[in-house]
């Protein structure tokens, strides 16, 4: 009964027009990218080394013909042979022995072709991939993507080279199916918002489209432990089948940190008239409700006349419980998304889960990930904020573009809406800012709102990020123009959600050696591989290495190790400050997502927590500390201190745990040059679920010690070492040079 699938052997060649035969072909890996195939065949060194990626640029303007020679399997009388393709990047035609069978623009709409009666022996199936789309007249860069659904990031970003993938980027295979088979099936579970003390019922719906009317559809639903909990059978009088059932008090799907991400299994079994199994479709679903709700007190603002609206809601409420969303911005884990598989996704998603994250913003400049990404997020309790492929451009409403956007967005919504992890649709990235120029009136965004409402009305929709109340940035530890550090910027901010904030650091030394030529490694210089890998001039002048800033705090560096260690320390302490301060601003703030989690290629310096392909930076561990459900925390006025100054951090206990936290005694001390200075003891009272407590503010005169310039603030929770925290800060000599105060020594 399992469908028989056949992989195909592919070759690829390029030419100057869609109908010109390539001069020659080379072996192709599917899924993959034409660029990788070509480079492999030519024996090129890795594209990510040095400035090799520049050698690929000519490829974006060629027509690429991907060919498989089909040897049709023997079919029994009522069997059909399908060619199934999950995605081709980006515009393409499909031809069988030169006859066009299909054409499409857009990488997110799968297609299948019934080849049963078309296959001559040795038939040639060609997928002709057109040049990367480029908006006529657009200046070089992301603006070239502004009239297509091609992810804009490939045209170059401040952490991504210009390298525009093309080719068959998702599974493609032949499949034998019985004539009567399941063309498409989906199980959607709707859960009302649970209410204390009231019985709860999930509404589960199986929808299936059969290739033709006929047969029996048997539906089997199993609980997370594998026990059969419901069974329904329907005679399929028409090709469109819908079955519903109610699950009483279902096991709930919870995000990471809030409970188990319980997943039910839904099996649709198509039986012939004689009862034999013909076809089968299995999927999983989770019972959970999701809403964006107003935070406590939100309706009280604005309070004065003339009165505007209250901020739009951004607090995620899952199963009736308001969450503090701790998470990150997800970018394509590879320049060539065709290379992504379960292993690559899983390695990264494990790191996010282990860092106590519960929300992944899948950024609109990149791809909509493959199915397995969402399966893994379902399993790991990682909520997904999914953006459509619009970012930092004005996507104007030309009819051709609107047609592609309409079809691609419908495909995306229909593919993802049944995933428990899918928490939020969003039109795209920073579209309501000046560098994009779109507004609430932009037809492309009204179309996306329309399609989401029509196809998935229960999932919240944001037109873009940020909307009012939310903030993006800053992206540096210290703003050179204002002199303000995150330590000052964040407490002064008052956003409902920090949906992008970044602190850059260099990659680790070992990582740097994998893609920087040895002779360029140290000291970093402009104009070469460091700059190509975004260490210089990527966004603002000094980004992302921020060498000047590192020297501002630490003085000149003497080795690569020293430079990297210092930059990474800033990233660690900066990210801790932002996550913890965002949590302190609860309930007005209910979300903190750093920019960014991962990388599409190895950046020499970047805001990422994890280097390409999956190499964690120290900041990942630091963020993990700040994202613990319960922790002792300090609001620290600044990073760099001098002897004799009054050190005045405020103590806090932070919790977003769904359980109350018992009272605990905190001890704060400062470690300076191996010596421990007691600061304060504070007994924090019991915290209610998801409740913080501000504590006292320390006031301590800083002594001088020859510490190598650092000190460490340590918070210890009596009997709960898992809540302990520590912060590394700078301690420098007084303005007038080193001296001994005698006060505290």
Q: Under the criterion CB under 8 A, does residue 495 sit at the interface with its own copies?
A: yes
Q: Under the criterion CB under 8 A, does residue 440 sit at the interface with its own copies?
A: yes
Which uninterrupted H or E stretch holds 287? none
Q: Where are the alpha helices (DSSP H) in 313-442?
A: 342-354, 371-380, 399-416
Other CB atoms within a 10 A radius of the CB of residue 77 amount to 5
The distance of closest approach from Cβ of residue 460 to its own copies in the complex, given in angstroms and rounded to an integer, is 5
Nearer to its own copies, 17 or 481 (CB): 481
| CA-based nearest residue to 241, from 275, 205, 267 | 205
Nearer to its own copies, 371 or 396 (CB): 396
Q: DSSP strand E in 628-742: where? A: 630-635, 640-642, 646-647, 650-655, 664-672, 675-684, 693-697, 700-701, 710-717, 725-732
Cβ–Cβ under 8 Å, residues 101 and 128: no
The distance in angstroms from the start CA to the end CA of the chain is 79
The span from the CA of 64 to the CA of 459, in Å, is 38
Cβ–Cβ under 8 Å, residues 251 and 262: yes
Cα atoms in the Cβ-side hemisphere of radius 13 Å centred on 186? 17
User: Which residue from 254, 461, 601, 682 is in contact with its own copies, where contact means CB under 8 A?
Assistant: 461
Stretch of 112-120, 370-378, 453-461, 654-662 contacting its own copies, by CB under 8 A: 453-461
Q: Which position has the token pair 């691609």?
A: 408
Stretch of 94-102, 164-172, 239-247, 465-473 contacting its own copies, by CB under 8 A: 465-473
C-alpha to C-alpha distances, 43 to 11, 38, 46, 193, nearest whole angstrom: 16, 8, 9, 57
Nearer to its own copies, 397 or 509 (CB): 397
Nearer to its own copies, 139 or 274 (CB): 139
Nearer to its own copies, 43 or 399 (CB): 399
x/- contact string, 653-692, with its own copies (CB under 8 A)?
Answer: ----------------------------------------
Nearer to its own copies, 494 or 513 (CB): 494
Stretch of 73-81, 488-496, 568-576, 632-640 contacting its own copies, by CB under 8 A: 488-496
Nearer to its own copies, 71 or 454 (CB): 454
> Both tokens of residue 87?
């995605």
x/- contact string, 278-307, with its own copies (CB under 8 A)?
Answer: -------------xx-x----xx----xxx
The distance of closest approach from Cβ of residue 656 to its own copies in the complex, given in angstroms and rounded to an integer, is 20
Other CB atoms within a 10 A radius of the CB of residue 646 amount to 11
Stretch of 104-112, 445-453, 516-524, 639-647 contacting its own copies, by CB under 8 A: 445-453
Stretch of 209-217, 310-318, 627-635, 734-742 contacting its own copies, by CB under 8 A: 310-318
- Please give the size of the binding site for its own copies, defined by CB under 8 A: 48
Cβ–Cβ under 8 Å, residues 672 and 707: yes
Cβ–Cβ under 8 Å, residues 19 and 39: no
User: Which residue from 124, 446, 588, 675 is in contact with its own copies, where contact means CB under 8 A?
Assistant: 446
Nearer to its own copies, 133 or 460 (CB): 460
Stretch of 247-255, 385-393, 469-477, 569-577 contacting its own copies, by CB under 8 A: 469-477
The span from the CA of 423 to the CA of 385, in Å, is 6
The distance of closest approach from Cβ of residue 499 to its own copies in the complex, given in angstroms and rounded to an integer, is 9
Which uninterrupted H or E stretch holds 452? helix 443-455
Q: Under the criterion CB under 8 A, does residue 432 sit at the interface with its own copies?
A: yes
The distance of closest approach from Cβ of residue 147 to its own copies in the complex, given in angstroms and rounded to an integer, is 18
Cα atoms in the Cβ-side hemisphere of radius 13 Å centred on 445? 26
Q: Under the criterion CB under 8 A, does residue 450 sit at the interface with its own copies?
A: yes
């Amino acid at each position: 009964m399992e469908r028989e699938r056949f992989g195909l052997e592919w070759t690829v060649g390029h030419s100057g027009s869609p109908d010109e035969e390539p001069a020659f072909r080379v072996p192709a890996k599917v899924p993959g990218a034409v660029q990788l195939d070509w480079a492999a065949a030519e024996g090129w060194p890795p594209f990510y080394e040095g400035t090799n990626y520049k050698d690929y640029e000519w490829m974006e303007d060629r027509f690429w013909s991907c060919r498989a020679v089909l040897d049709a399997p023997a079919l029994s009388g009522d069997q059909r042979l399908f060619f199934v393709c999950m995605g081709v990047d980006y515009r393409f035609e499909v031809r069988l022995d030169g006859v066009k069978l299909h054409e499409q623009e857009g990488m997110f709409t799968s297609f299948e072709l019934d080849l049963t009666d078309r296959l001559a022996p040795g038939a040639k199936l060609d997928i002709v991939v057109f040049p990367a789309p480029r908006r006529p007249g657009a200046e070089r860069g992301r603006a070239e993507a502004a009239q297509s659904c091609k992810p804009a990031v490939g045209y170059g970003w401040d952490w991504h080279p210009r390298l525009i993938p093309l080719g068959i980027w998702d599974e493609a295979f032949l499949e034998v199916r019985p004539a009567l088979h399941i063309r498409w099936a989906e199980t959607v579970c709707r859960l009302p918002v649970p209410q204390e003390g009231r019985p709860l019922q999930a509404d589960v719906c199986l929808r299936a489209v059969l290739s033709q009317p006929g047969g029996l559809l048997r539906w089997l639903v199993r609980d997370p432990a594998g026990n059969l909990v419901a069974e329904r059978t329907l005679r399929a009088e028409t090709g469109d089948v819908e079955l519903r059932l109610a699950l009483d008090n279902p096991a709930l799907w919870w995000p990471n940190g809030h409970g188990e991400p319980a997943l039910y299994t839904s099996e649709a079994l198509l039986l012939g008239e004689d009862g034999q199994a013909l076809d089968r479709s299995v999927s999983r679903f989770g019972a959970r409700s999701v809403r964006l709700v107003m935070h406590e007190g939100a309706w009280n603002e604005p309070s004065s006349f003339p009165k505007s609206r209250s901020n739009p809601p951004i607090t995620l409420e899952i199963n009736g419980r308001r969450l503090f969303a701790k998470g990150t911005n997800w970018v394509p884990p590879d320049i060539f998304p065709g290379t992504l598989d379960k292993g690559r996704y899983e390695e990264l998603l494990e790191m996010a889960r282990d860092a106590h994250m519960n929300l992944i913003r899948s950024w609109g400049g990149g791809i909509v990930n493959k199915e397995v990404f969402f399966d893994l997020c379902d399993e790991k309790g990682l909520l997904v904020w999914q953006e459509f492929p619009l970012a930092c451009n004005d996507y104007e409403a030309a009819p051709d573009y609107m047609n592609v956007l309409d079809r691609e967005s419908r495909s995306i919504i229909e593919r993802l809406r049944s995933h428990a992890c899918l928490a939020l649709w969003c039109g795209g990235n920073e579209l309501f800012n000046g560098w994009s120029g779109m507004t609430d009136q932009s037809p492309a965004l009204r179309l996306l709102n329309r399609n989401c409402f029509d196809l998935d009305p229960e999932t919240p929709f944001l037109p873009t990020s940020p909307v009012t109340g939310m903030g993006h940035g800053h992206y540096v530890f210290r703003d050179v123009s204002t002199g303000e550090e995150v330590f000052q910027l964040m407490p002064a901010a008052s956003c409902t959600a920090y949906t992008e904030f970044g602190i850059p650091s260099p990659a680790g030394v070992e990582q740097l050696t994998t893609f920087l030529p040895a002779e360029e490694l140290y000291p970093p210089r402009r104009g070469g591989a460091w700059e190509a890998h975004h260490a210089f001039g990527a966004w603002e002048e000094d980004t992302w290495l921020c060498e000047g800033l590192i020297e501002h705090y630490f003085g000149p560096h003497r080795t690569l190790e020293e430079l990297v260690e210092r930059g990474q320390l800033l990233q660690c302490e900066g990210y801790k400050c932002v996550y913890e301060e965002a949590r302190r601003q609860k309930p007005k703030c209910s979300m903190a997502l750093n920019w960014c989690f991962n990388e599409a290629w190895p950046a020499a310096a970047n805001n990422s927590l994890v280097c390409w392909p999956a190499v964690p930076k120290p900041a990942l561990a630091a963020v993990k500390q700040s994202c613990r459900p319960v922790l002792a925390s300090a609001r620290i006025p600044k990073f760099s201190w001098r002897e004799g100054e009054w050190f005045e951090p405020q103590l806090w206990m932070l919790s977003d745990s769904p359980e109350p936290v018992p009272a605990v005694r905190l001890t704060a001390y400062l470690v300076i040059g191996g010596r421990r200075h007691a600061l304060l003891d504070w007994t924090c009272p019991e915290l209610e679920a998801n409740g913080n407590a501000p504590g006292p503010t320390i006031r301590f005169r800083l002594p001088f010690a020859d510490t190598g310039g650092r000190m460490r603030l340590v918070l210890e929770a009596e009997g709960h070492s898992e809540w302990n925290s520590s912060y590394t800060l700078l301690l420098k000599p007084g303005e007038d040079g080193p001296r001994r105060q005698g006060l505290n020594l």
